[in-house]
Amino acid sequence: MILEKYKGFVPEQYDKRILVTGGAGFIGSAVIKHLILKYPSYFIVNYDLLTYAGNLANLGNFENDPNYGFIRGDITNIALLSGVFDFFGITDVIHLAAESHVDRSINGPADFVRTNINGTFILLEVARAAWKDDYSAHRFHHVSTDEVFGSLPLRGISKFDENTKYDPHSPYSASKAASDHLVKAYHDTYGLNITISNCSNNYGPYQFPEKLIPLVINNLVNNRPIPVYGKGDNVRDWIFVGDHAAAIDVIFHKGKSGETYCVGGNHEMSNLAIVKTIINTYNKLTNSSVKPEKVIEFVEDRKGHDKRYAINTKKITDELRWRPLETFSSGIEKTVKWYLENGEWLENVTSGEYRNYYKEHYGKEIDEKRD
């Protein structure tokens, strides 16, 4: 029934029909915008269940673009996925649909196993059936995380690369590690044309404010304390979401089949330093004088909290000529400024009002039950 909106669709008029799973999320929406603007001969199908982190308003300006379509669906719904592949003549997949918040995985791991592992398996099976005549003509790109590699020493020069042994420490990272292995196995066993990317922490506009950077900005705007785990000395590598979208683009188009590529921003920073940088940037943009020691609240550390992540980007730089364009300084200023200028988006996403966007544009409520 939902496909009626696209009645008369002619797949052959587009060079590629790319299914982007999780396309209403933070990174997924950035990828879709990047592809639509850069490749007018492609048709992009956004397949998203619209759970708490999926927000169609992230793509509002593209809603009526002739190269864009949206299907609300569960990644584990094999019948719907198969129908989408058949109807649109899906030629390629960029797979981002995932449960992704570590704290949520600790409190409720079942959804992570269901979506990240079972969902990836079902998507692989649908793609395998649809493309069985010639796997080499189709690309399945799987977007993963550096968290699958575990933790690095807090002090040291070692970094994750494509040969790093997997060592996940949370239900989230374990489920992503399992999905990585499944994707690789479908290449080795069946010959599926796959690539995998393992990326460091993303930040930028439209990120759901449970993650560190938008959480800090939201709490500053609303005069709330800023919680920091432990001593705040956990270190992460940070990449601006637009740079990540560009990396996915180049891997999807130029990456070698069966290969993994590590993606990072080449900017390591402790959580405490991140928070202080955001406060300083907020003060600069708003002419405020918030003192970090007055608003930072140290809280009990997260269970199994990895100490340090860092990415060696030599492979993607040398082989595919990609490198991040944003410095952390330029990216964080753009990010804080965007949140300050988009208070309505922030209010809607924290209150749940953003979910009315689906009703307004598709004429129905979001059914919270999974298929």
**What integer is the mean pLDDT of 252-278?**
97
* Integer Cα distance of 39 and 325 in angstroms: 20
- Where exactly are the structural domains of the chain? 15-204+240-266+306-325+355-362
* Integer Cα distance of 99 and 121 in angstroms: 15
**What integer is the mean pLDDT of 255-282?**
97
- Annotated catalytic residues are 146-147, 172
pLDDT given for residue 355 in this prediction: 63
Q: What percent of the chain has pLDDT over 70?
A: 94
Q: Give residue 364's pLDDT band: very low, low, confident or very high (50, 70, 90).
A: low
**What integer is the mean pLDDT of 279-305?**
92
pLDDT tens figures, 114-125? 999 999 999 999
**What integer is the mean pLDDT of 128-155?**
95
pLDDT for residue 170 is more than 60? yes
**What integer is the mean pLDDT of 200-222?**
93
Q: What percent of the chain has pLDDT over 90?
A: 79
By CB atoms closer than 10 A (0-12, 13-18, 19+), residue 55 is buried
Q: Which of 299, 309, 306 is nearest to 231 (CA)?
A: 299
Q: What is the mean pLDDT of the chain?
A: 92
pLDDT for residue 333 is more than 70? yes
pLDDT given for residue 365 in this prediction: 59
Does domain 15-204+240-266+306-325+355-362 sit in CATH 1.10.240.10? Answer: no
Determine the length of the chain. Answer: 371
- Give the β-pairing of 92-95 and 140-145: parallel
Distance of CA 155 to the CA centre of its chain: 28
pLDDT given for residue 371 in this prediction: 44
**What integer is the mean pLDDT of 312-322?**
98
Strand-pairing partners, residue 16, are 42
Q: Which of 323, 331, 329 is nearest to 246 (CA)?
A: 323
pLDDT given for residue 363 in this prediction: 56
pLDDT for residue 161 is more than 90? yes
**What integer is the mean pLDDT of 132-143?**
97
